[in-house]
């Protein structure tokens, strides 16, 4: 029941500020006791998925109110600081089971037999691509991620809420130039400036997040400090 309600909220099936069914209705819907329903609702409230109104019931929390207090490279926020409208597109989503992506496996301490998520995102500023990111996650730490839950949204806040992740993130930047391999992504010329960004997330003494990114255009000034 808890996981299903979180999935519905993350996917937008239960919209922001919409009212959840009553405790009795939820119990009948999922065939569970009233105690189980109340525990699930308490957990959803603790994870900032819902809020309660005295005498009215439980409601889905808006995204602005539900953002976790976690420090990370918030690209949409930086694009907004540029005075542009941010947009995120999930281009690829897969689970790697064949032992490839060895660099990511080494960074996350995974063996060739471990399942590995791979996400490819492209961020836009006023419809111009400015940030390309490939993210890797260990499946055993973040099981059962559904594509509908992560389409066109910032991944780290989702992970923090969905899995109660308290992680610290570190990013490293390196100046570089656009190549023939990535020029088409950004509609730029070979030799134009770009910055490589490597980000790692650590929780409970273990690496749980690894990403490789490319930044171009004016966004570079907001990311490289």
* CATH class of domain segment(s) 75-223: alpha beta
In the chain, list all ranges with CATH 3.40.1410.10: 75-223
pLDDT of amino acid 103: 95
Residue range 2-66 in CATH 1.10.10.10: yes
Cα dist. 43→1, 110, 148 in Å?
A: 11, 30, 22
pTM: 0.76
pLDDT of amino acid 64: 60
Helices (H), 12-85: 23-30, 34-46, 63-66, 75-81
In a 3-state reduction of DSSP, which class is residue 203? Answer: strand
| Of the candidates 42, 44, 46, 126, the residue with the CA atom closest to the CA atom of residue 83 | 126
pLDDT of amino acid 68: 58
Helices (H), the chain: 2-11, 23-30, 34-46, 63-66, 75-81, 102-108, 147-150, 155-162, 183-186, 219-223
Low-confidence ranges of the chain (pLDDT < 50): none
pLDDT of amino acid 55: 80
pLDDT of amino acid 149: 85
Paired tokens of 191: 């030799």
CA distance 8 to 6: 5
For 117-144, what is each residue's pLDDT tens digit?
Answer: 999 999 999 999 999 999 999 999 999 8
User: Could you tell me the end-to-end alpha-carbon distance of the chain, in angstroms, rounded to an integer?
Assistant: 44
User: In the chain, what is the greatest distance between 2 CA atoms, to the nearest angstrom?
Assistant: 63
pLDDT of amino acid 107: 96
In the chain, list all ranges with CATH 1.10.10.10: 2-66
pLDDT of amino acid 67: 57
């Amino acid at each position: 029941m808890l996981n299903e309600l979180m999935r519905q909220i993350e996917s937008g099936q239960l919209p922001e500020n919409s009212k959840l069914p009553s405790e009795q209705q939820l119990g009948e819907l999922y065939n569970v006791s009233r105690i189980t329903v109340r525990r699930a609702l308490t957990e959803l409230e603790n994870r900032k998925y819902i809020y309660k109104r005295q005498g009215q019931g439980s409601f889905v929390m808006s995204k602005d109110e539900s953002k976790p207090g976690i420090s990370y490279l918030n690209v949409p926020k930086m694009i907004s600081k540029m005075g542009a409208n941010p947009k995120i597109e999930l281009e690829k989503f897969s689970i790697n089971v064949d032992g490839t992506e060895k660099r990511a496996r080494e960074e996350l301490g995974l063996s060739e037999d471990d399942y590995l998520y791979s996400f490819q995102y492209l961020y836009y500023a006023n419809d111009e691509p400015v940030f390309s990111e490939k993210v890797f996650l260990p499946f055993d730490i973040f099981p059962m991620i559904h594509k509908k839950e992560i389409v066109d949204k910032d991944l780290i806040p989702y992970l923090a809420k969905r899995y109660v992740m308290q992680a610290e993130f570190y990013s490293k930047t390196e100046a570089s130039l656009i190549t023939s391999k990535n020029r088409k992504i950004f509609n730029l010329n070979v030799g134009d400036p770009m910055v490589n960004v490597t980000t790692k997330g650590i929780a409970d003494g273990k690496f749980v997040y690894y990403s490789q990114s490319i930044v171009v255009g004016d966004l570079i000034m907001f990311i490289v400090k």
